[in-house]
Amino acid sequence: MSRVTNTKRVLQELFNQQETSRADIARDLKLNKSTVSSIYNDLDEQGFIEEVRVGHSTNNGGRRPQMIRLDRNYGFVVSFNIGANHLSSMFNFVNGELIRYNRQPIKDSDILSIMQMIKQEIMRMQCANETKHGLLAIGFSIHGIVDNEKIIDSPFLQLQGIDLQQYFEHEFHVPVVLENEANLSATFEHDFYIDHVVKDLISISIHRGIGMGVIANGSLYHGFRGMAGEIGRALTTTDENGHEGALVKVESLCSEDAILKQVRELVGPAKFKQERLADLYRDSADVQAIFNRAARLLAEVAYNAEVCFGPQAVFFNAAIFEELPDFYNNLKQELTKLGGTIPVKMVHGSRLTSLYGCASLSIHRVLQMDGYHLKFKLPKEIQLAD
């Protein structure tokens, strides 16, 4: 093993254990104590190490270990999600812990003014910075196809030829990472859901469109030209009343946007604005019908994915499920009907998943730990329910 590899393995150990010691690391990695000691000194010099406390001896006695962990004050990363009406931003310490989450409305959808907001947001945090190295990386959660750090298609955001990565790398002199939103949610579920080792999972995101992120063999799977998991673009027929309908995209029928649009058209814009979605659902069989069809379609899509990938678990990220648990329960029933057998999980706090996933991606990049599994603590704002 080369020095570089061993250093990465020590850093990984430092990251993944709550706290550890040099002796522990040597035992776990089957390295000599002196090797670990040497690498430790390198890492310490770079500011990666925080001494937590002095540990206990065993019952047999012996010198007490100095317990250490990754120093979260090494630096921070920031992630952005440009939504339909809001710009979400999240700052995280290098260990993934939350520093600040913010969600601000976007008045006009002009890309330049959004970029201005992003810049301000970063500069504000840079002023308040108390970490050793400050800003380490910037990440963007993209609602579109991303291949090899390049945005191939961005249906919901007009970029007007602007290269986000290039601009912000020049502005802040740190790496800028771009990744598809569903892929980032999948990354979140893989890296933060660490009670169980899940190396193969799919994560279905339902927001303005529908996307699926895939973790295969413990790492994100992009497919050719980033096309993996583009299930929203799958075609289905609009066969409503028995007679065969036209071929349309799945997401034009059961994305959050599409569903809300159907409900709005059904109940009228006034009532739609006044009442809560849950009330509209409860009181109207017609509204329920819209959701039932969406649930059926989503179940089909999820079932197909389950058969193809044979994952260990399926995750759903959808604010509309949180708002309307009946919708989710309906979907689960439809899935069972089709023959689905894999555990299905629903994320409470789906607004945050792609940002946390983005933080993980940035941190991997900054630490040059791509391909290494870093385990993050599940934030308390997010729950994974059945």
Partner DNA sequence: TATTAGTTTATATAAACAACTAACTTACGA
Partner DNA sequence: TCGTAAGTTAGTTGTTTATATAAACTAATA
Chain contacts with DNA (rule: CB under 7 A): 1-3, 6, 21-24, 30-35, 37-41, 54, 57-66
Residue 181 is a binding residue for a copy of itself (CB under 8 A): no
Candidates 111-119, 214-222, 271-279, 373-381; binding stretch for a copy of itself (CB under 8 A): 214-222
**Radius of gyration over alpha carbons of the chain, in Å?**
23
Among 25, 26, 142, 305, binds a copy of itself (CB under 8 A): 305
Among 98, 234, 260, 266, binds a copy of itself (CB under 8 A): 234
Torsion of the alpha carbons at 250, 253, 257 and 263, rounded to the nearest 10? -170
228 interface partner picked from a copy of itself, DNA, none, CB below 5 to 8 A per type = a copy of itself
With beta carbons less than 8 A apart as the criterion, state whether 210 and 204 touch. Answer: yes
Within residues 10-69, the interface with a copy of itself by CB under 8 A covers: none
Please say which residue, 6 or 284, places its beta carbon nearer to DNA.
6
Least Å from the CB of residue 212 to a copy of itself: 7
- Distance set, CA 379 to CA 192, 193, 356 (Å): 8, 10, 9
- Distance set, CA 254 to CA 58, 90, 298, 299, 313 (Å): 58, 28, 7, 11, 22
Q: Give first-to-last CA distance, the chain, whole Å.
A: 42
Geometric angle at alpha carbon 80, from 351 and 50, rounded to 5°: 95
Least Å from the CB of residue 302 to a copy of itself: 11
221 interface partner picked from DNA, a copy of itself, none, CB below 5 to 8 A per type = a copy of itself
Size of the site for a copy of itself (CB under 8 A): 36
Residue 270 is a binding residue for a copy of itself (CB under 8 A): no
Among 84, 162, 307, 385, binds a copy of itself (CB under 8 A): 307
Among 199, 282, 348, 377, binds a copy of itself (CB under 8 A): 199
Please say which residue, 162 or 308, places its beta carbon nearer to a copy of itself.
308
Residue type, 364: H
Per DSSP bridges, beta strands 86-93 and 76-82 are antiparallel
- To the nearest 10 degrees (0 to 180), the angle between helices 33-46 and 3-16 is 80
24 interface partner picked from DNA, a copy of itself, none, CB below 5 to 8 A per type = DNA
- To the nearest 10 degrees (0 to 180), the angle between helices 111-128 and 164-172 is 30
Q: Which two tokens stand for residue 83?
A: 């939504």
Binding mask 243-262 for a copy of itself (x = CB under 8 A): ----x---------------
Least Å from the CB of residue 199 to a copy of itself: 8
Residue 374's SS3 state is: coil
Least Å from the CB of residue 318 to a copy of itself: 19
